[in-house]
Amino acid sequence: MRSRLRSRVRALYFGHTQRALRFQGVLLALDLLIIGFFIGSQFIAEQPWFWMVDAAIAVFLATDLFARLFAFGTLKRWLKYPTTWIDLVVFATLLLPTVLHNWGFLRIARLWTIVHSERFWNVLARGRFDETRIEDLTKAIVTLFVFIFMAAGFTQAVFLGQHPKLNNFVDAIYFVVTSLTTTGYGDITIDSAAGRLFSVVLMITGISLFFSIAQKAFASSHKIIPCHACGLDRHEQDAKFCKSCGEKLGAALRRRALAVRRRDLEGG
């Protein structure tokens, strides 16, 4: 009975049937609503209903965590995935808001995990954009957005008040964006040694992230089909043979489909 229930839960979370995709679609919609709440929480934290929504999200997240633990079957397998660790950190900020209030910005990391999950791309347009340039570009843009939000939260938590114009989250976002883009208006600066090192990290990271987005945006529209003979993973949409070594890509796709099916049966 227990194993049968675990198989059903695992099929809902990791399966590709219509029922599983509907279930995953509902979870995805709830995840996106929660992330929207996290993004807006910096501006609505004083509302009287804020803590009730926070508590409801904590209950949902705890249920989702335990359901995935039950689906995986073992604690070791459950803890192997970065999504689990990020959700545990988010849950801690929800469970201990008075202790971890300044670090609540870490919740936005959940957006990164969702966009990098197979569930997101399986549900979105029924997998049409999975392993395409659109997926690569979306991941790069979301990575930049999440980094900006987290860097602004870190600035607010650590450096707030170290400059007369650095007084709230909006000021922190302004400082981070001007540093990332190397615009450097100079109206907000952090003159401590730690602040200057942080600014250097922001500028170097900003250049890398913007370059990554540009690279994905102007890349040719190739499908991500890995060739198991030579490792080349970019081919034209209608390619049947690897343009580097000539191996038939259909065989590679069949091997990949078998690997995905095996992974789903194992629970992740």
DSSP per residue, 68-107: HHHHH-SHHHHHTSHHHHHHHHHHHHHH-HHHHGGGGGGG
Q: What is the pLDDT of residues 180-237, one digit of tens each?
A: 887 777 788 888 888 889 988 888 888 888 888 887 777 665 555 666 666 666 656 5
CB 167 within 8 A of CB 161: yes
Say what the alpha-carbon torsion angle 44, 48, 52, 58 is, to the nearest 10 degrees: 40
Q: What is the pLDDT of residues 145-183, one digit of tens each?
A: 889 988 988 888 888 878 888 888 888 889 888 888 877
Type and span of the H or E element at 222: strand 222-223
Task: Kindly state the greatest CA–CA separation across the chain.
Answer: 65
* Close Cβ partners of 79 (under 8 Å, ≥ 6 residues apart): 85
Tell me the fold of 1-128: Four Helix Bundle (Hemerythrin (Met), subunit A) (1.20.120)
The residue extents of the domains of the chain are: 1-128, 132-219, 222-268
- Residue 55, Cβ neighbours under 10 Å: how many? 13
132-219 carries CATH number 3.30.565.10: no
Q: Can 1-128 and 132-219 be said to share one CATH topology?
A: no
Report pTM: 0.69
